[in-house]
Amino acid sequence: MAEDELQAIVDGLAERLERSVAIDDPGIRLLAASRHFGDEDRLRIGSVLNRTVPPEVVEMIRAHGVSQWTKPGRLDLGLPDASPRLCTPIRCQGQLLGYLWLLDRVGTLGDAEVAAAREAADWAGTVLYRRLLVRQRSQARHEAILRDLVSPDLMIRSQAIDDLRTEDLFPESPLHLTVLAVQCESGAEAHAEWGVELEAAVEEGCRAVVEDVALLATHRSRAWLLLAQRCPPTRDLVDTIANRITIRFKHLTHSRAALVFGLGPTVERLDEVADSYRKAVRAARTAVLVPGVGNIARWGELGPYELLVTLAPDDLAEASRTPDLAALEDADARGVLIATLTTFFDHGGSAQHAADALRIHRATLYQRLRRIEQVTGRNLQDGDDRLALHLGLKLRALAIAFRVNPHGHS
């Protein structure tokens, strides 16, 4: 196995040089480490214990441009917990596959030690490249199955279920299956450039799932994960996955590009995953179109938007043109009445809370509400009239959001 081969490389080099040796992946996560020779520092000890180093240290390492190095170089972070070390990039076929580290506390590494580190890094590169090819083939296979699993075609979905069972990816215990959709907020022009970065970011998010299974599928501006777990995912786990994906994506794109997430309902059968997927995508769409929802939209917590986002763009635009709101717009070009009504409903019909939010006296609020009733012919004390006005406002907000960001409905 590749892990055994990497361990043999670091152990062999460490015994030969009588120095601590470690190999990290490109994300500065530990892959293999030798025993210590009294030269270890706190950073190395933490890396061995946690399999990674603090994010701020990772950023410091990257700031030295190590991802562009093609030969060994000495790295001094200037931290009290980190001794200077030799960083040897591990490359194969032009790809950066990781880093080999030699601690060099007193600066005694000579040409022979550097050459030995480079030779070991070349060997590790061959091992990691071979593992990369195997993983890529496996991931491509799993992505193809996942796409078929949510196909509109029942026969294709059935075959995908059989294929997943053949792959034997899931534990024997009862499964809880949940789809987490990921979508870029920015325009389609940028999406075409971010496919690789998005896939790498989602892979980083999958690493937060340590005891269960997380499979991923990506396509340009969008991606989704299938979480197969013994227990339904906690809010903390979903937040952690989303946070890791977001941080990694921003680092890779060097932009302000934002990601949003949609969490589908948890199901217990593979033939129900398509439903979780469909609702996760709709939830993500809601997060794009309605910023107030937040960057993680959870199906089951979106209220009327769960119905409204199912509408096609043209149907949405037509439905949003209600006579009530048209009358309010004609009566008040500044939009004060619509803003007042929106705030009133957003605060559950509480006059005091709405007045506080608008920073007006409650008497002023009542005057505006009476004016709204006069213009629309609706009675705010009538449940059906309130529903018609509230739903109209939601449709209007969604239609406006779609005009601003048409890709949110793709």
- Please check whether residue 398 is in contact with residue 387, taking contact to mean a CB–CB distance below 8 angstroms: no
Residue with tokens 């995912």: 233
DSSP for residue 295? S
Q: Is the pLDDT of residue 410 over 60?
A: no
- Multiple choice CATH, 313-409, 3.40.50.720, 3.90.1170.50, 1.10.10.2840, 1.10.357.10: 1.10.10.2840
Share of the chain above pLDDT 90, in %: 48
124 vs 89: CA distance, rounded Å = 10
What pLDDT is stored for residue 2 in this prediction?
60
What pLDDT is stored for residue 258 in this prediction?
83
Q: Which amino acid is at 200?
A: A
Under the phi-then-psi rule, with left for phi > 0, alpha for psi from -120 to 50, and beta for the rest, what region is 221?
A: alpha
What pLDDT is stored for residue 33 in this prediction?
94
115 vs 68: CA distance, rounded Å = 19
Q: In this predicted model, which residue has the larger pLDDT, 21 or 137?
A: 21
- Kindly provide the b/e burial profile for residues 77-92, where b requires at least 16 CB atoms within 10 angstroms of the residue's own CB: beeeebbbbbbbbbbb
Mean pLDDT within 140-147: 89
Class of domain 173-308: alpha beta
Q: Is the pTM of this model over 0.85?
A: no
Which two three-digit tokens encode residue 288? 């794009």
Which two three-digit tokens encode residue 36? 């210590």
Distances (CA, A) of 214 to 22, 205, 228: 27, 9, 6
Which two three-digit tokens encode residue 247? 């941080």
Classified as helix, coil or strand, 262 is strand
Q: Is the dihedral of CA 149, 150, 155, 156 positive or negative?
A: negative
- Rounded to the nearest 10 degrees, what angle do helices 323-331 and 362-376 cross at? 120
Of 185, 214, 180, 218, give the one whose Cα is nearest residue 199.
218
363 vs 319: CA distance, rounded Å = 33
Which two three-digit tokens encode residue 155? 């026969």
72 vs 118: CA distance, rounded Å = 7
DSSP for residue 175? P
What pLDDT is stored for residue 167 in this prediction?
82
**How far, in whole angstroms, is CA 234 from its chain's centroid?**
16
Q: Supply the CATH classification number for the domain 2-131.
A: 3.30.450.40
6 vs 124: CA distance, rounded Å = 6
**What are the domain boundaries of the chain?**
2-131, 173-308, 313-409
- Please check whether residue 273 is in contact with residue 164, taking contact to mean a CB–CB distance below 8 angstroms: no
Q: What is the pLDDT of residues 332-381, one digit of tens each?
A: 888 899 899 989 988 888 999 999 999 999 999 999 999 999 999 999 99
Q: Is the pLDDT of residue 189 over 60?
A: no
Intra-chain end-to-end CA distance of the chain, in Å: 43
Q: What is the mean pLDDT of the chain?
A: 87
Catalogue the long-range contacts made by 13-22 (C-beta closer than 8 Å, 24 or more residues apart). Answer: 13/100, 13/116, 13/117, 13/120, 16/116, 17/102, 17/113, 17/116, 19/102, 19/103, 19/104, 19/113, 20/44, 20/102, 20/103, 21/100, 21/101, 21/102, 21/120, 22/47, 22/48, 22/100, 22/101
Classified as helix, coil or strand, 318 is helix
Phi–psi pair at 204, nearest 5 degrees: -65, -40
What pLDDT is stored for residue 409 in this prediction?
47
Classified as helix, coil or strand, 127 is helix
